[in-house]
Amino acid sequence: MHAVRPKQAFKLRSNKLSRDQKFFDMYSLVIGVLAAVALAILVLAMKMSDLTQGVYTRDTAEYQAAVAERIRPMSQVYLPGEESSAPVPTVKAAPDPEPVAAALTGPQVYNSACLACHAAGVGGAPAVGNAAAWAPRIGQGLDTLKRHAIEGYTGSAGYMPAKGGRMDLSDAEVADAVEYMLAESQ
């Protein structure tokens, strides 16, 4: 076996000590940094609590009212002979219904809904005042014309959307507009 000389043994031991010292130094540095960060967080938390503590404390009436509202019982039980402090019910008057808008006349409906297509004959629509374009439709009968205007119609000559695309109009208003256009086209 090899014998280790005392000089070599000292060198090995000093190498090991220097590695241990480096580890200890690095470990101490990391622990010191972590302790400093923890201390900074503690100081910051204490400062923030001092700044916000006066905003909503337990002693204020606002806080006490909020707690009382949260823990208020849903109902109460009264024994026979005890009086309840329930408020007396009151009757509220129903609001007046909104006034119903007056029905539009034939010319008003024509100007608000029908004019876009029937003024220039867009999409195969017969132009108001053009008796030749209205003649075949008049031949179908007034009831058919009104039904096509109310329900909508797709034919070889074009497309008529239901109520001219104005679903807020009543059937009577649309029928009045058809009668108005026929009167203007004869």
pLDDT tens digit string along 55-85? Answer: 666 777 888 888 888 888 887 777 777 776 6
Q: How confident is the model at residue 182 (pLDDT cuts 50, 70, 90)?
A: confident
Structure-block tokens of residue 137: 């439709």
Residues 6+ apart with CB under 8 A from 114: 128, 164, 177, 181
With 0.85 as the threshold, say if the pTM is over it: no
106-185 folds as Cytochrome Bc1 Complex; Chain D, domain 2 (1.10.760)
Higher pLDDT, 100 or 47: 47
* Region 27-53 average pLDDT: 91
CA-to-CA distance for 87 and 92, rounded, in angstroms? 15
Residue 117 confidence (pLDDT): 84
Residue 58 confidence (pLDDT): 72
Q: What is the DSSP letter of 169?
A: S
Residue 174 confidence (pLDDT): 86
Q: Within the chain, how many helices (H) and strands (E) appear?
A: 7, 2
